Structure formats: C-alpha cells, structure tokens
Amino acid sequence: MSQIRRAVNVRTQVLCGLFSLVWSLLACNVYAAPLPIDFFILDAPPLTLIDDANGHGIVGEVALLAIAKAGYTAHIQVLPWARSQKYVSEKQDLLIAPLSRTPEREDHFTWIAPVMSMDRAFFSLEHRVSSFAEARKTYRVIGVGLGSAQEEILRTHGFSSEQIHPLTIGENPAQMLLKGRIDAWFNGVPESQYIWPTVSRRKLLMSPVMSSVDLYLACSKQCSAELVQGLHDAVETLRHDGTVARIQKRYLSP
C-alpha cells in the first residue's frame, strides 16, 4: 500500500513539475509579446507613406523601428490629419508622426523625440519671392496642407485668412498650383520636391528657406512615462547608429 502511495506521490510531483514548466513558458510568451499601440500617420511623401511598396517614408520608418525596438507593435491608423491630431491629443498613450513642434501645439502633446528637421519654402510657377513680407504682397492665394503647421506659420507672419487656402495634404496643392487656382504653395521642401515631378515637368520656382522646424514622434498629452522614455531612447539609438541618416538618404537621393 505504501508503495502505491509513494508511486502516486512521485507521479503527482512529476505532473506538478510539468504543469509549472508549461505555465512558466506560457507566461514568458505572454509577457515577452510586444504590446500593441496605435500609431497615427498621414500620406505625406516622403515623410510618411500609408500604402507604398517602398516603405512608410522617412519619419514613418524611423518611428516604426523605434516602436519595435522599444517593445511595442504598431497598429497604423489613418484619419484626416486635423482630426488625427485632435483625437490623439484628447486620448491616452496614442502615437502620432510627423508632427511639427509649434507654439500652438506645444501643450496638446507629449513630445517624444525629433526625427528630422524640415525646411519650408514658397513654391510658385511665376514669382520667386525672397521674404515673408514680399510673399504677403506678391501672392493673393497661398495653398497650405490642411491640418499642417504651415497655416500657423503664415498667420504668425501676418498673412490674412483670405490669403491662406488649406488643401488636402499630398499632391492636391501641386495640382491646384498647376491649374492656376493658387498663386503659391507654402510647404516642406522635401515633400514638394518629391511630389512635383509626379505632377508636372514645368519648372517650379522655390524661395529661400523661410522656416525650419523639427518633425517629432509625439504622443497624447496623457502618455505613460515608460512609453515616452523607451521610444525616446530608441529614436536616439537609431540616430546615433546611422539608421536615420540611411533612411533619409534612401528617400531623398535623386
């Protein structure tokens, strides 16, 4: 009888050990799995691309690499850009890029890390201006990306509401310029130079750089300190090891 009891005890101990091992492995897999996080972007080549076989753009690719390096898995979300900004700012632990860090936006987001600096200039088919003051006098209607920082920058420099014409971000402003419906396009230099050749072969006149603002990976105003630190460190690692520069070169090289 004692031998039977001893055998049962041994068997029980073995089963308990196996159960503990299986439970530990399952627990490790659960805890090791990347945490899902929503990441809001827009179609603004070459900065971010939504559905392109070549990738997600300069800022998009850097952000996605940083998100993965920090232990998260990104769920890309797309809304009209102004709505994306409002939604992200009012929720919690949502990511958004590329976002220019401007005075108007400063208190609405948690600024994780700059990815790249973006120069902005006026583009026109007829008149090249050399200053904001000259642009105010020369251009009757200036196209800017809807929900972009360009509108805020122009207002700061004294442009009237009648002069500023917000348009859907992408090639739409370029098409409007080509058709003569706007006199100029105030936009990021890399984006305009990337888009224009796909729209027309006409020579595009560019002003000197009028503004240069960093583009950030940002988070909701209410954002986990751990999430912010992890992503900040990941972006800085990608910058220091040359990854950011390599991605920029791939998209901006002729």
Q: What is the pLDDT of residue 106?
A: 97
Asked whether the predicted pLDDT for residue 8 surpasses 50, the reply is no
Q: CATH number of the domain that 155 lies in? A: 3.40.190.10
Half-sphere exposure for 205 (CA within 13 Å, toward CB): 10
Looking at the structure, tell me whether residues 248 and 219 fall in a common domain: yes
% of residues, the chain, pLDDT over 70: 87
Looking at the structure, tell me whether residues 93 and 133 fall in a common domain: no
The reported pTM is: 0.84
> pLDDT for 71-112, tens place per residue?
999 999 999 999 999 999 999 999 999 999 999 999 999 999
Judge contact between 175 and 110, C-beta under 8 A: no
Asked whether the predicted pLDDT for residue 15 surpasses 80, the reply is no
Is the residue at 12 inside a domain?
Answer: no
> pLDDT for 185-234, tens place per residue?
999 999 999 999 999 999 999 999 999 999 999 999 999 999 999 999 99
Is the residue at 235 inside a domain?
Answer: yes
> pLDDT for 133-158, tens place per residue?
999 999 999 999 999 999 999 999 99
Looking at the structure, tell me whether residues 124 and 111 fall in a common domain: no
Q: What is the mean pLDDT of residues 113-128?
A: 97
Q: What is the pLDDT of residue 10?
A: 42
Is the residue at 56 inside a domain?
Answer: yes
Is the residue at 106 inside a domain?
Answer: yes
Asked whether the predicted pLDDT for residue 6 surpasses 90, the reply is no
Is the residue at 186 inside a domain?
Answer: yes
Looking at the structure, tell me whether residues 201 and 222 fall in a common domain: no
Number of domains in the chain: 2
| CA separation for the pair 58, 98 (Å, rounded) | 9
Is the residue at 59 inside a domain?
Answer: yes
Looking at the structure, tell me whether residues 179 and 62 fall in a common domain: no
Angle value at C-alpha 177, between 181 and 152, nearest 5 degrees = 90
Q: What is the mean pLDDT of residues 43-47?
A: 94
Q: Are strands 205-206 and 109-124 parallel, antiparallel or unpaired?
A: antiparallel
Q: What is the mean pLDDT of the chain?
A: 90
Q: What is the pLDDT of residue 140?
A: 97
| CA separation for the pair 243, 184 (Å, rounded) | 35
Give me the phi and psi of 18, to 5 degrees please.
-65, -40
Asked whether the predicted pLDDT for residue 29 surpasses 50, the reply is no
Q: What is the pLDDT of residue 235?
A: 98
Q: Measured between alpha carbons, how far is residue 62 from residues 19, 59, 124 in Å?
A: 42, 5, 31
Looking at the structure, tell me whether residues 53 and 82 fall in a common domain: yes
Looking at the structure, tell me whether residues 51 and 111 fall in a common domain: yes
Find the domain containing 129 and state its range: 120-212
Q: What is the pLDDT of residue 13?
A: 54
